[in-house]
Structure 1
Amino acid sequence: MFTVVLAGAVVLTSGCSTAVDGTPLADPRATRSSEPSGPVTLTFLTSLNDGYEDLLTEYRSEHSGVTIKVQRTDPGSYYPKLRTMLAAGQPPDLAVVGDEYRADLFGQPGLFADLAEAGPDDVDPKRWLDWKYEGGLGKDDAWFGYGMDSAPIGMAYRTDLFAAAGLPTDPAQVGDLFKSWDAYFAAGDQYTRKTGKPWFDSASEVFTTMQNQLDNPYFDRDDKLVIESNTKLKAGWDAVTGAIGRGQSAKLEPFSPEWFSGFRAGTFATAPAPYWMLNLIKSQAGPENAGKWAVADTFPGGGANWGGSYLVVPKKSPATEQAAALAAWLTAPEQQLRLFESVGAFPSQVDALASTKLRGATDDYFVTKETGRIYADLADKVTVAPYGAPRDSRVQTEAMWPALQAVEHGTPPDAGWQQAVDKAGQLN
């Protein structure tokens, strides 16, 4: 993740209320009057390097009756372990669910406690951006996850490549190129005609970003596959595959060696960049490209999110209310800002996003140095948390992405679409 060092510290106050930048907040440590009293031991399943340890140490010091045992797992085996524990009926008391697994896990009833019932009375959904709160809901609007970090998407671009193609480089003017997807692809046509080089990194990256702007991209609320009837999804497919045919895609597989090296070599001029990708751009583009990359504060289609996480309390935990109280404290604005400072986890709570500590965060690697403000504004522009059915992620990674890559390597767009539809039907 992208690490930003903030000036100053987030001050936590004891007593009945806390504040972010002087704004009083309800006490995130408050618990329901019906919460069981006495000592309790909570197990917290999480992955490595999540940045929670200092926060948990503080929580323990303020709650003498609470013992927290952290079970750390490497990212590759984290979700298989969580699923195994849930299936065995011996879950942790608290766990992290990343946005990429939200569709799978939140779509299954009976796994997690409804935090509207188990959580502290004063935890208002309005603490979060609307789309982040809605992303924590399961079927029948049960509240399964308190939103932790988020990943609003900006459009990263190489200013030197733009200049060489006669395109504007000033962020305000570049924003006009990114005001809609039609404008974005039109600018791509201008770029490829002028340079003969690709405009964007990967069709699957661009298409996934567009898909993240739809309420029901692959399944309806009854978990019925709707790819063939989803005209907005098909319109996105047509736009992206049309751009492939006009030479705009670098045809790189995301996270492949060639994709990584493309940031350094200037293989492409633009790339959708969730907040967590900024550190990747810096490390892969290298110091020789400092001052060349920028991020526009306008994004095609308004806004989108790609990533982030939620804290969940398994329904079979023997201490759901106490675990929910811990989750409420960990996701409060003060703690979100501290994780932003320590590990670059971008906040999702309204007061944290309005904080001058966040909005004043800068990174001199980028032409657009005000990365905190830019991404806070982009987060405000997101309107949708796509509904995810249990098979949603498999349809995306096993049907849509391979079909797009097939088109990038010569399959006609209509045949690629049918390939995606057929494969999705097999997975359904």
Structure 2
Amino acid sequence: MRPRRWVSVLVCAAAASAAVTACGSGGASQTADGRTELTIATFNEFGYEGLFSEYEAAHPDIKITQRKTGQGGPHHQNLFTKLGAGSGLADVEAVEEGYLSQVMAKASQFNDLKEIGPKDLSTNRWLDWKTAAATTRDGKLIGYGTDIGPLAMCYRKDLFDKAGLPSDPEAVKALFATWESYFAAGEQFTARSGGVAWFDNAAQIFNAMHNQHEVGYFDKSDNLVVETNPDIRKDWDAVTSAVAKGQSAKLVAFSPEWNTGFKTGAFATKTCPSWMLGVIESQAGPENKGKWAVTDAFPDGGGNWGGSYLTVPRQGKNTTKAAELAAWLTAPEQQIKAFQAKGTFPSQVDALKSPALLEQTNPYFGDVKAGALFAAQAGKVAAAQYKGPADGQLQENVFSPALQSVEQGKNAGEAWLTAVEGAEKAAK
């Protein structure tokens, strides 16, 4: 899932701010000049700072207070802790797609945005699969979609050239047509690369493969199907076989060593959601400008990695106004502005057709029209895989560590049994 940061707790105390005269359990309050204060808790970069000022200018009765945090883990731990306590949440809470299944399991504690949101708002605003993932079985809409992470493939052109592989973005598409062709190209590359790996780590590849399937770790009745879903074992065998052949750099995602790997050229390909372009540029540095390229191809079709939602917890005192703010922030016009500010890729149909998106270029990647490329990739995602309540735990705490153990020398068959056992425990 997409990396996020920590969330701070807004303390209601007279000494903290002379402007605040009252503070409720849901975060709604009145300022000294009589405006309604709405709190919104986000993480990482949503690109909303300029939008808040714009909204306040158009709604002089509203004061917006942002609780901006970093990594998603602590933010969501805070969210679930305060859900259990029954107080302390912001009026609008952002939820990343990796934690959405846990929120959907607690849907009764969130407002149905079809009920309290603007009546003229149509869910056709978003890509169908984005809305479907935040809709309960009985039709309640728990979150308004913000960004998405359509998948393409990034690669090092110079390393491909040295290994005798095609390096032009059109020519490489055949290498990335299927997972079979991807791993076959990896064999060719590692045989000629002088020790450079084909991909960064097994878990990143496995998760991308896994998320393409209609059925994942759980079926739609929340039954664990790790052992009975043949696609999961097939993916496991393919990835661990590639590890055994030396295709993995064995670098834990988002670790210091992984970050350095971009700069030193430790691996040649990277599963690449739209937001990954910024990660690559920042970690690989200016000295590698022009060496990285991105192509509008991904093995076995499209996929999505990342993206969030804005929810309105029932704890809030001003839920209708909170829903109005969330609806406005997720309108196509605002999502284009957020994209221009921080690169968050829109999930709204009209935004994906906007010239401001389609004409956007990325000079680090050879002036590729990245907006148009990822808009095309977004159109290849047919549906969002159903996620059971413990899905995120299985990905982060079970399968990723099990795959890391294979990279460290553990037998793949034994590691699979460990993963199955861990999945059964996590699903209880």
TM-score under structure 1 length normalisation:
0.87
* Closer, same or farther: CA 66–288 of 1 in aligned 2, 3 Å: closer
Q: Which of 111, 132, 135 is equivalent to 1:134?
A: 132
**Percent pairwise identity:** 47
In the TM superposition, 1:1-80 aligns within 5 A as: 40-47=36-43, 49-75=45-71, 77-80=74-77
In the TM superposition, 1:114-133 aligns within 5 A as: 114-133=112-131
Matches of 2:259 and 2:65 in 1, distance apart?
37
Q: Deviations over 1:99-143 (max 9, x none)?
A: 221122122231211112222222222211122112222343421
Deviation at 1:257, TM superposition (A): 2.1
- Which letter maps to 1:237? W
What is the aligned partner in structure 2 of residue 87 from structure 1?
84
Matches of 1:119 and 1:156 in 2, distance apart?
39
In the TM superposition, 1:282-301 aligns within 5 A as: 282-301=281-300
What is the aligned partner in structure 2 of residue 401 from structure 1?
400
Q: Verify the 8 A CA contact 1:47 1:78 in the aligned structure 2.
A: yes
* Closer, same or farther: CA 184–343 of 1 in aligned 2, 3 Å: same
Instruction: Name which of structure 1's ranges 348-357 and 107-116 shifts more when overlaid on structure 2.
Output: 107-116
In the TM superposition, 1:162-311 aligns within 5 A as: 162-197=160-195, 198-311=197-310
In the TM superposition, 1:262-411 aligns within 5 A as: 262-367=261-366, 369-411=368-410
- Which letter maps to 2:315? K
Deviation at 1:235, TM superposition (A): 1.3
Q: Deviations over 1:152-175 (max 9, x none)?
A: 122110111111111111111111
TM-score under structure 2 length normalisation:
0.87
Deviation at 1:73, TM superposition (A): 4.1
* Closer, same or farther: CA 190–122 of 1 in aligned 2, 3 Å: same
Deviation at 1:368, TM superposition (A): 5.8
Partner-residue secondary structure (3-state), 2:363: coil
Q: Verify the 8 A CA contact 1:129 1:349 in the aligned structure 2.
A: yes
Deviation at 1:276, TM superposition (A): 1.6
Q: Deviations over 1:167-206 (max 9, x none)?
A: 1111111111111111111111111222253211110010
What is the aligned partner in structure 2 of residue 14 from structure 1?
none
- Which letter maps to 1:379? A
Q: Deviations over 1:370-409 (max 9, x none)?
A: 1111111111111232222221111111110111111112
Instruction: Name which of structure 1's ranges 202-211 and 128-137 shifts more when overlaid on structure 2.
Output: 128-137
Matches of 1:419 and 1:172 in 2, distance apart?
41
Matches of 1:396 and 1:373 in 2, distance apart?
30
Matches of 1:391 and 1:320 in 2, distance apart?
28
Partner-residue secondary structure (3-state), 1:171: coil
Matches of 1:142 and 1:426 in 2, distance apart?
30
Q: Deviations over 1:234-286 (max 9, x none)?
A: 11111111111222111111122221111122111101122222112112212
What is the aligned partner in structure 2 of residue 158 from structure 1?
156
What is the aligned partner in structure 1 of residue 421 from structure 2?
422
Matches of 1:297 and 1:373 in 2, distance apart?
9
Matches of 1:46 and 1:228 in 2, distance apart?
36
Partner-residue secondary structure (3-state), 2:170: helix
Q: Verify the 8 A CA contact 2:46 2:342 in the aligned structure 1.
A: yes
Matches of 2:344 and 2:332 in 1, distance apart?
12
Q: Which runs of 5+ in 1 are unaligned?
A: 3-37
Deviation at 1:357, TM superposition (A): 0.7
Q: Which runs of 5+ in 2 are unaligned?
A: 4-33
* Closer, same or farther: CA 178–94 of 1 in aligned 2, 3 Å: same
How many residue pairs get matched?
393
- Which letter maps to 1:276? W
* Closer, same or farther: CA 368–209 of 1 in aligned 2, 3 Å: farther
- Which letter maps to 2:338? L
What is the aligned partner in structure 1 of residue 12 from structure 2?
none
Q: Deviations over 1:79-101 (max 9, x none)?
A: 23322332222232211111221
- Which letter maps to 2:82? M
Deviation at 1:358, TM superposition (A): 0.7
Matches of 1:286 and 1:404 in 2, distance apart?
29
Matches of 1:153 and 1:328 in 2, distance apart?
26
Deviation at 1:306, TM superposition (A): 1.0
Matches of 2:41 and 2:48 in 1, distance apart?
11
- Which letter maps to 1:47? F
Instruction: Name which of structure 1's ranges 207-216 and 78-87 shifts more when overlaid on structure 2.
Output: 78-87
Deviation at 1:320, TM superposition (A): 2.6
RMSD of the alignment, in Å? 2.1
Partner-residue secondary structure (3-state), 1:365: helix
* Closer, same or farther: CA 245–77 of 1 in aligned 2, 3 Å: closer
What is the aligned partner in structure 2 of residue 146 from structure 1?
144
Matches of 2:405 and 2:347 in 1, distance apart?
36
Partner-residue secondary structure (3-state), 2:379: helix
Matches of 2:44 and 2:237 in 1, distance apart?
40
- Which letter maps to 1:115? L
